[in-house]
Amino acid sequence: MRVLLIEDDMSVADFVASELALKGHNCECASSGTEGLLAANSARWDALIVDRMLPKLDGLSVVKSLRDKGDLTPVLILSALGEVDDRVKGLQIGADDYLVKPFSSEELLARLEAIHRRLAPLGADFRTTLEAQGLRLDLISQEVRREGRVISLQPREYRLLEYLMRHAGKIVTRSMLLENVWGYHFDPQTNVIDVHISRLRQKIDRDFDYPLVHTVRGAGYRFGDE
């Protein structure tokens, strides 16, 4: 993946670049809004990571001017601001996701891959079943079978499994699950998501030889093998 990072804090930029490089991505950096906008316009990128507070031209303005020109490159906004409407403002302007500092490298990578896949070939969206490692999820009848055996799931468990399977082999973080499966963005004080995952595991993993839902320490969960 070719990623353009627009970030004025050199330490954060260095961290992001080295983490992306570790995963085999190619990352270039711009340290101001105008420089970033220029770089974004002059080449094709798979994704942009844009800090909100930038010298010369702020991050939101960069995203807005890209979107106004019809540039649909996935954008992840980084921000030190956590105010109520900040996230909404960022998403309204056309960003695909919003991450508040500080973030873990896993969270950043997981979200970056998620927004990148969103623009992947449309064929994926016409699937009527999801299938991986013997687990089959019928998107129309909402029936779940593992090795031919029907598993009965609650609606929320079904959506949790669907989200994990759509991102099979990739890490999904707890806050990604909260945002996408429940539709909320806040800090649940207890590890609510873990409890739901363990319920799901009880149903799809307990009676089988090998588990499908893996815990990734310090990051989140992954469906199936990497």
**Shortest distance (Å) from residue 104 CB to another protein:** 7
Neighbour tally for 201: CB within 10 Å: 16
Given a contact cutoff of 8 angstroms between Cβ atoms, the answer to whether 136 and 146 are in contact is yes
**Shortest distance (Å) from residue 206 CB to another protein:** 15
**Shortest distance (Å) from residue 143 CB to another protein:** 22
Output the six-digit token pair for 42: 């002059």
Q: By C-beta, is 117 or 201 nearer to another protein?
A: 201
Q: Which residues bind another protein (CB under 8 A)?
A: 9, 11-12, 15, 18, 53, 80-84, 100-105, 156, 182-190, 192, 195-196, 198-199, 218
Cis peptide before 102 (omega within 30 of 0): yes
Distance CA 42, CA 55 (A): 20
Q: By C-beta, is 11 or 152 nearer to another protein?
A: 11
- Report CA-CA distances (Å) from 76 to 42, 46, 62, 67, 135: 19, 11, 12, 13, 32
**Shortest distance (Å) from residue 106 CB to another protein:** 9
152: Cβ contacts below 8 Å, ≥ 6 apart: 144, 203
**Shortest distance (Å) from residue 107 CB to another protein:** 11
Rounded to the nearest 5 percent, the helix, strand and coil shares of the chain are 40, 20, 35
Q: By C-beta, is 82 or 169 nearer to another protein?
A: 82
Residue 66 pairs in a beta bridge with none
Q: By C-beta, is 165 or 193 nearer to another protein?
A: 193
Neighbour tally for 147: CB within 10 Å: 11
CA-angle at 177, arms to 172 and 178, nearest 5°: 145
Q: By C-beta, is 136 or 174 nearer to another protein?
A: 174
Q: By C-beta, is 114 or 197 nearer to another protein?
A: 197
**Shortest distance (Å) from residue 183 CB to another protein:** 8
